[in-house]
Amino acid sequence: MTPASPAVHRLDPDRRVTDALDGGAVPHRVVRHTELGDPVRSALDVARLLDIDPDRIAKTLVVTSQPRRDRFALVVLPVLLRVDFRRVSEHLGWNRATLASAAELAGRIGQPVDGVSPLGDHGLPVVIDTAMRSRPSVLVGAGTPGVEIEIAPRALMATTGACSASIAHR
């Protein structure tokens, strides 16, 4: 008897993400780390395996207002840059901004820290760093770890209702 081959688990984007992309009406590409051929340990691995500039890979962070932590927003910036909380708070009209906790993130958007997507109806404002707008396409989280959505910045902004501001630094 031949042993059964192990089942391959195919990772898919969060359902809210695919719904936001209108079942294919918004041009995009799903990128699964498991299909890139080599192990992926970081965004730099993804960039190398796709032969793209790492600045096209985005991270999406959930931020909250300080000190009350009663307002939340999503910020999207190049993965190698750092969020400038002063600029974020100024842009959103908050006194201060900080990262939301993992519990706040889960309660607000129901996605894991390592898979946050700006796509999907989170009911939160979305701010995209101006550096992302000049790219032909960007890769954002798909709401599931190990899965990215490649999408044109203009389509990302239109789909999320995002605004753009300079919110990142090296």
77: domain CATH number is 3.90.960.10
In a domain, residue 38? The reply is: yes
In a domain, residue 68? The reply is: yes
pTM above 0.85, yes or no: yes
pLDDT by residue (tens digit) across 45-89? 999 999 999 999 999 999 999 999 999 999 999 999 999 999 999
State yes or no: pLDDT of 8 exceeds 70.
Answer: no
For 22, 76, 132, the CA distances from 135, given in Å and listed in that order, are 23, 13, 6
In a domain, residue 9? The reply is: no
In a domain, residue 99? The reply is: yes
The pLDDT score that the predictor gives to residue 7 is 41
The total number of structural domains in the chain stands at 1
pLDDT by residue (tens digit) across 120-149? 988 999 999 999 999 999 999 999 999 999
Domain hosting residue 73, numbered range: 15-169
In a domain, residue 147? The reply is: yes
In a domain, residue 2? The reply is: no
In a domain, residue 3? The reply is: no
